[in-house]
Structure 1
Amino acid sequence: MAGSNGDGRTSGDGKAPSPAVDRALTVLETLVAAEEPMTLTMLAQVTDIPLATCAAITRTLELRGYAARRVIGRSHFWRPTLRLNGLAAQLVKKVDLMRTARPFLKRLVDSIGAHAHLGVLEGGQVIYVAKVAAPGMLQYDTYPGKASPFNLTALGRAIAAQLPVDAVDALVKNAAVGRGPKAHPIQVAELHAELAEVRERGYATEDEEEDPGIACVAAPFFDVDGAVAGSIGVTGYAEQLRSTGFEEIGAQVVAEAAALGRELQAGTVQLPYGM
């Protein structure tokens, strides 16, 4: 895993990261994650970055169109803009994987009657790359470019189960507790045990942990080198998926993931940047 926070850690190629870039990204990520606009004082406290540095970073983000501010009295409140969404949209358009995966996702939708997604793992979060919606179902807040903590989705668990133990340990800092009735605190040993079960049966499940009434089932697919490249899965009403049976759904998801993997291994698909 690449280092961050300018604390002396190195990236995968052995080179030290840039503290300035790390701080700028930390400020930007904090603004995006915040529920409300933030003052410079709040930013400095949350990010543990000096106030003057936060001021310089937010000013630069404003000049580049990535942040905007509202002045109330002496206070300046900062928020991110939708320019980031524009960058994400450009990136997604360049990813052949999105188009290639659509037939596989469509078959899952037609067979199971739930929404189907494809996700990749980036820095401890699952990035939704593709979605095929099931007609007539509630449209969940999932869309290409959305990021979720890896442990709160079957997509993320399916990928993480294929990673080495030390890589999973590095991801834990990005783990989060969901809002569903079955959500529970993160226990590293428990997480490793769960991922071992996922690896053995071939698919992952998430049942009312991230959100009430929602469940998902996902399986990994692999690239030409045999490394995990991402995962595909279905998301629907928990009662619906339980009535069909996680095992039956898992078998279908595993089959479609394997078929997509064979396309990758044939060298016909371009993977997303950062994989």
Structure 2
Amino acid sequence: MAAAERGADGTVGKALNILDQIAEFERPVRFGELLANSEHPKATLYRLVQSLTNQGMLSYDEERQTYAPGLRLVRLAHAAWRQSSLAPVARPFIDALASEVQETIHLAQLDRGQVLYVDKRMATNPLEMFSQAGKIGPGFCTGVGKAMMAFLEDEAREDAIRRQAFLQHTPNTLITADALRAELQTIRREGIAFDREEHEPGIICIASPILSESGRVIGALSITTSTQRQSLDGLLPHRPLLLKTASEIATAAETWQFPS
């Protein structure tokens, strides 16, 4: 029985990895492209792709011979957004914050040391940047990522640090675990994090963790802009409103069965 369960888990894991792979293309993908990047033999990959298609997790375009996320997966994603993300609770608060500061607001949660953007509310002149709702970003070089990691318990924080790739995205990127640890200590002391063009050139932010009443990290909030429009010193006057909004979201989340 245990062996059968392990086998079933293995199959599910393989199928989920294929869904991740297709999602990373951010466009419909041909089977040959999947095969070129797959660790599975052709027959195994084909069987898994067909099973996912039969179950509605993938859709197949016969004319173009491409695969894309299916409608069943879209429905599940919307259900997850409603039930397991902070976004529905936070939406009115971040809308109000975006309207007040006239900058882009990001709402994020931490997923195995990485940043999952769960909502993005833009001012009247939105910026083109990496972060979009549903995207995964690095924890070590984003304001929201550092804000969340700084307030994790010691063991969880070290686990998150171990999961970082420490790629140098810009000249300002922190590229060692020790440099990140020092930064996280400062963030924990001051209660706010900065992105100093560490992930994308020209993109800066101030960020605050969203903490439950018990101090558990449930998300993070940032005010993001470009160096063409503003400076970090120029963002600092928004700090009280950012912290107030994060606190309001945390209070609203207390009345909801927020997942551990």
Which residue of 83, 86, 90 maps to 2:79?
A: 90
- What residue in structure 2 maps to residue 162 of structure 1? 151
Which residue of 163, 166, 169 maps to 1:173?
A: 163
Deviation at 1:229, TM superposition (A): 0.8
- What residue in structure 2 maps to residue 121 of structure 1? 110
Matched, 1:31 2:22: yes
| Distance in 2 (alpha carbons) for counterparts of 1:33 and 1:82 | 15
| Distance in 2 (alpha carbons) for counterparts of 1:131 and 1:203 | 19
SS in 1 for 2:152: coil
SS in 1 for 2:11: helix
- What residue in structure 2 maps to residue 132 of structure 1? 121
Deviation at 1:227, TM superposition (A): 0.9
SS in 1 for 2:123: coil
Q: Which runs of 5+ in 2 are unaligned?
A: 1-5
| Distance in 1 (alpha carbons) for counterparts of 2:85 and 2:39 | 39
Q: Percent identity?
A: 26
Q: Any idea what the Cα deviations from partners look like across 1:58-100, whole Å, max 9, x if unmatched?
A: 221222233356799xxx9764325344432233234684343
- What residue in structure 2 maps to residue 62 of structure 1? 53
The 8 Å contact of residues 166 and 176 in structure 2, kept in 1 or not, is answered as no
Q: Any idea what the Cα deviations from partners look like across 1:217-260, whole Å, max 9, x if unmatched?
A: 21111224331111111111134341643543344322321233
Which residue of 176, 182, 196 maps to 2:185?
A: 196
- What residue in structure 2 maps to residue 269 of structure 1? 256
| Distance in 2 (alpha carbons) for counterparts of 1:167 and 1:176 | 18
SS in 2 for 1:138: coil
RMSD: 3.5
| Distance in 2 (alpha carbons) for counterparts of 1:239 and 1:249 | 18
TM-score by length of structure 2 reads: 0.77
Matched, 1:215 2:204: yes
Which residue of 66, 81, 85 maps to 2:69?
A: 81
The 1:94/1:165 distance shift into structure 2, 3 A limit, reads closer
Q: What amino acid does structure 1 have at the position aligned with 2:179? A: E
Q: What amino acid does structure 1 have at the position aligned with 2:185? A: A
SS in 2 for 1:18: helix
Q: Any idea what the Cα deviations from partners look like across 1:99-120, whole Å, max 9, x if unmatched?
A: 4323432343244321112211
Q: Any idea what the Cα deviations from partners look like across 1:170-214, whole Å, max 9, x if unmatched?
A: 3343546475x4354732222222222221211111122322321
- What residue in structure 2 maps to residue 18 of structure 1? 9
Aligned length: 252
| Distance in 2 (alpha carbons) for counterparts of 1:151 and 1:173 | 9
The 8 Å contact of residues 31 and 78 in structure 1, kept in 2 or not, is answered as no
SS in 1 for 2:163: helix
Deviation at 1:23, TM superposition (A): 1.8
The 1:217/1:242 distance shift into structure 2, 3 A limit, reads same
| Distance in 2 (alpha carbons) for counterparts of 1:216 and 1:258 | 18
SS in 2 for 1:194: helix
- What residue in structure 1 maps to residue 3 of structure 2? none
- What residue in structure 2 maps to residue 9 of structure 1? none
- What residue in structure 2 maps to residue 11 of structure 1? none
Q: What amino acid does structure 2 have at the position aligned with 1:113? A: Q
| Distance in 2 (alpha carbons) for counterparts of 1:135 and 1:256 | 20
SS in 2 for 1:245: helix
Deviation at 1:159, TM superposition (A): 0.9
Deviation at 1:152, TM superposition (A): 3.9
- What residue in structure 1 maps to residue 220 of structure 2? 231
| Distance in 1 (alpha carbons) for counterparts of 2:54 and 2:166 | 33
